[in-house]
Amino acid sequence: MKRHLISAADLTRDDAVLILDTAEEMARVADRPIKKLPTLRGRTICNLFFEDSTRTRISFEAAEKRLSADVINFAAKGSSVSKGESLKDTAQTLEAMGVDAVVIRHSASGAPYRLATSGWIDAPVINAGDGTHQHPTQALLDAFTMRRRLIGPDAGLGQDLAGRRITLVGDVLHSRVARSNVDLLHTLGAEVTLVAPPTLVPVGVENWPCEVSYDLDAVLPKSDAVMMLRVQRERMNAAFFPTEREYSRRYGLDGERMARMPGHALVMHPGPMVRGMEITAEVADSDRCTVVEQVANGVSIRMAVLYLLLGGNEPALTHPRTEEK
Amino acid sequence: MSKILIRGARVLGGEPQDVLIDGEFIEAVGTGLSAEGAEVVEADGKILLPGLVDLHTHLREPGREDSETVLTGTRAAASGGYTSVFAMANTFPVADTAGVVEQVYRLGKEHGYCDVQPIGAVTVGLEGKKLAELGAMHESAAGVTVFSDDGKCVDDAVIMRRALEYVKAFGGVVAQHAQEPRLTEGAQMNEGVVSAELGLSGWPAVAEESIIARDVLLAEHVGSRVHICHLSTAGSVEIVRWAKSRGIDVTAEVTPHHLLLTDEMVRSYNPVYKVNPPLRTERDVLALREALADGTIDIVATDHAPHPHEDKDCEWAAAAMGMVGLETALSVVQRTMVDTGLLTWADVADRMSFAPARIGSAAGHGRPVSAGEPANLTLVDSAYRGEVDPAGFASRSRNTPYEGRELPGRVTHTFLRGRATLVDGKLA
């Protein structure tokens, strides 16, 4: 039994379903006049953000506050990667202050794993996104959104996503969202297809539990959900693709392409969206697009994760990744 | 100077013999030699090798004395069985002038643990733009024969060509750190299955192989010789094998860590495994072992790269690249090459002493263990088994990937021109 959430790959099917089910409970709290549970009263959680992310930080903060935890926000932007001691020193400072859990966002892949396994700190570590590695709560909220839409909130309880066909489109190479989603969706029984120009697919992808296609139009009719990934404009300067327009023509989602998807299929996006390039306004604003729901579901998922990691006497999640000696 | 009798040692792994040292030289090798007037070293069953020669060491002085100094580095070398090390040029200031190389050379002589042969930079400041004064470094007291911008690749084909041509005038060699810079921008580890999963930027094999291919062709074109530093991929082996079959004058080295460790270690995100070139795959490791065995790869060189604790006790991306290696090299070679039956001890003497001394023109080193030769010798207890404990390292830095691992073999004695620098595993 381990106490950290570092990678979506660390979750078993039962762990993941338990988190999704617990998130359904948590979602009900949001419908109450007083959106608060006393579960983590007296616990202190630090949101340790070495990289800007207002959306993720606010989502965790809302989740923590709804569980009545005391919240410290620590924005240590900038110098972290140029000189690494700051992570260790900061961790030890937080430890000395008696923090009960650390939610960490870092631009360096593996920083949360280092934090959890280097003996710098005893508190549970929750990965809120590390470099191009993992963003497990994002994958969980995406899976939660899919289960609600494709199966239904109540009918979905106890269910996984067996047999559902999910397509991820865009910059897989630099995407922690893609890595987390491939791992988690596979664990939940879904069939995942990645669609991207070959320059944005990592060397070594052949070992991932998914298919890879370069042809979006061929994949759309077979998709139960299509998740668009964010493409940073600076990728263009590094010759990952020739122009924004060419990218948009081949891998952007517009109304015409959306019409080729099955009637029940969803359009998803982890946000923030680059309208006009990855996704047209028409698609982004359509009923099929779950971007706003994903944000709301993020709070429920993070409440569930915090509750399960910190709420009981024993952590409820198993964690199979072997720790370093 | 007094006489020393090494009794019953298996010279180059052969039958037990006695070796009598008189002053700086070996006086006799044989059986039943008289111990009269000599201090006796009982070496029953141990392996006696010519003093090891490392063509690729980072001593960090001048400039980064917090990592290593010529003194601590040569003490580490003596502990590992080395009598000669070639010190890389990427110091602060860079060893790109006669003044800097002479200083490093002089410090080695003063300390007396191991001969230090400075390597000169190929280009001014390792910037790859303008040739350093290679001739002046060669003519200095240090007598530089090996030139390298190690840490950086001489990526400009014209500069590389000129360097290869220029050093022919005095029998020098250019040692290339083969790393195409554009293909490795931001690179953190071997590009492949593991990097894809871990989300760490990849260092593709082709970045090494393309430079090696270019440089062997350049060496052929201008009729010069080139040495390839720390070969790390199966593809590089194929290119060197092809070049040698074509008669191109190329030599190559492999590090101990590339003979043992793979990129699977990076899953720990522990920067002790962060090194350049990066740890590769099992397939690469096996190809490198085979190439070292069949002579495609000429030598083992440590790429001993000391770093202070704080440069490794951090997140992966922020950590420095490199591992210390002088004190564990022979053990790793025994584990990967001798205990596996790929090399005999005589082969080890070739790959770790004769050949590197020849490539680097290290006078007095890499000589046969026979009468009249300089008494540069290393005695190895090959039956020893133990866990690596960095606390006992002579190196100032402890960034070893082998902490707590069991490795075979232990150097018990090292002799530099007849004087013991290591006795019973302790520095003299």
Helix (H) or strand (E) holding B193: helix B193-198
Cα A133 to Cα A172: distance, rounded to the nearest angstrom: 11
- For B258-269, how does the pLDDT look when each residue is reduced to its tens digit (9 = 90+)? 999 999 999 999
Is the pLDDT at A315 greater than 60? The verdict is no
What are the residue ranges of helices labelled H in chain A? 13-30, 54-66, 85-96, 111-117, 136-150, 176-187, 216-219, 234-237, 244-251, 255-258, 281-284, 291-306
* Local structure of A211: helix, strand or coil: strand
Lowest mean pLDDT among A5-14, A232-241, B111-120, B368-377: A232-241
Lowest mean pLDDT among A310-324, B13-27, B96-110, B285-299: A310-324
Biggest CA pair distance of chain A: 57
Neighbours of B144 (CB within 10 A): 30
- For B217-226, how does the pLDDT look when each residue is reduced to its tens digit (9 = 90+)? 999 999 999 9
CB contact under 8 A, B269 and A202: no
Q: Read off the pLDDT of each residue in A211-229 and give the average, rounded to a whole number.
A: 97
Cα B190 to Cα B211: distance, rounded to the nearest angstrom: 16
Q: Read off the pLDDT of each residue in B40-57 and give the average, rounded to a whole number.
A: 97
* pLDDT confidence band for A86 (50 / 70 / 90): confident
CB pairs under 8 A between A and B: 95
Cα A321 to Cα A2: distance, rounded to the nearest angstrom: 9
Cα A190 to Cα A165: distance, rounded to the nearest angstrom: 6
Instruction: Please say whether the dihedral angle defined by the alpha carbons of residues A249, A253, A259 and A265, taken in this order, is positive or negative.
Output: positive
Among candidate residues B103, B100, B147, the one with its CA nearest the CA of residue B128? B147
* pLDDT confidence band for B82 (50 / 70 / 90): very high
* pLDDT confidence band for A35 (50 / 70 / 90): confident
Neighbours of B257 (CB within 10 A): 24
* pLDDT confidence band for A275 (50 / 70 / 90): confident
Q: What is the pLDDT of residue A2?
A: 61
Q: Read off the pLDDT of each residue in B205-232 and give the average, rounded to a whole number.
A: 98
Question: Phi first, then psi: what are they for B86, rounded to 5°?
Answer: -100, 120
Q: Read off the pLDDT of each residue in A305-312 and give the average, rounded to a whole number.
A: 89
* pLDDT confidence band for A83 (50 / 70 / 90): low
- For B389-418, how does the pLDDT look when each residue is reduced to its tens digit (9 = 90+)? 999 999 999 999 999 999 999 999 999 999
Q: Read off the pLDDT of each residue in B210-222 and give the average, rounded to a whole number.
A: 98
Q: What is the mean pLDDT of chain B?
A: 97
- Nearest by CB: B200 against A82, A109, A325: A109
Q: What is the pLDDT of residue A77?
A: 65
Q: Beta partners for B54? A: B85
Q: Read off the pLDDT of each residue in B303-317 and give the average, rounded to a whole number.
A: 94
Nearest-Cα distance to chain B for A77, in Å, is 15
- Nearest by CB: A108 against B194, B197, B316: B316
Cα A140 to Cα A16: distance, rounded to the nearest angstrom: 8
Q: What is the pLDDT of residue A84?
A: 56
- For A162-218, how does the pLDDT look when each residue is reduced to its tens digit (9 = 90+)? 999 999 999 999 999 999 999 999 999 999 999 999 999 999 999 999 999 999 999
Scored b (16 or more CB within 10 A) or e, A237-258 reads: eeebbeebeebbeebbbeeebb
Catalytic site residue B156? no
Chain B interface, best mutation among A83, A113, A181, A182, by max B CB count within 10 A: A113
Q: What is the pLDDT of residue A312?
A: 65
Residue A111: C-alpha distances to residues A85, A126, A132, A238, B268 (Å): 12, 11, 11, 25, 11
Q: What is the pLDDT of residue B271?
A: 96
Nearest-Cα distance to chain B for A262, in Å, is 31
- For A140-169, how does the pLDDT look when each residue is reduced to its tens digit (9 = 90+)? 999 999 999 999 998 999 999 999 999 999
Among candidate residues A22, A10, A49, the one with its CA nearest the CA of residue A310? A22
Among candidate residues A38, A56, A20, the one with its CA nearest the CA of residue A157? A20
Neighbours of A285 (CB within 10 A): 11
Interhelix angle for A54-66 vs A291-306, to 10°? 50
Cα A224 to Cα B363: distance, rounded to the nearest angstrom: 73
- Of B303, B347, B350, B381, the active-site residue reads B303
- For B94-149, how does the pLDDT look when each residue is reduced to its tens digit (9 = 90+)? 999 999 999 999 999 999 999 999 999 999 999 999 999 999 999 999 999 999 99
Is the pLDDT at A76 greater than 90? The verdict is no
In percent, the amount of chain B with pLDDT more than 90 equals 98
- For B377-388, how does the pLDDT look when each residue is reduced to its tens digit (9 = 90+)? 999 999 999 999
Q: Which of residues 147-206 of A touch B (CB under 8 A)?
A: 176, 179, 202-206
Reading the block at residue A118, the tokens are 């280097």
Among candidate residues A126, A122, A110, the one with its CA nearest the CA of residue A303? A126
Cα A57 to Cα A302: distance, rounded to the nearest angstrom: 11
Among candidate residues A31, A26, A28, A42, the one with its CA nearest the CA of residue A310? A42
Residue B212: C-alpha distances to residues A40, B205, B240, B328 (Å): 59, 11, 8, 28
- Nearest by CB: A204 against B196, B317, B319: B196
Q: What is the pLDDT of residue A234?
A: 77
Is the pLDDT at A96 greater than 60? The verdict is yes
Cα A40 to Cα A301: distance, rounded to the nearest angstrom: 15
Determine if residue B343 is left, alpha or beta; phi over 0 gives left, psi from -120 to 50 gives alpha, anything else beta.
Answer: beta
ipTM, 2 dp: 0.89
Chain B interface, best mutation among A89, A114, A171, by max B CB count within 10 A: A114
- For A59-73, how does the pLDDT look when each residue is reduced to its tens digit (9 = 90+)? 999 999 999 999 999
pTM of the model as a whole: 0.93
Q: Order of strands, edge to edge, in the sheet holding B173-176?
A: B146-147, B173-176, B226-228, B250-254, B299-300
* pLDDT confidence band for B361 (50 / 70 / 90): very high
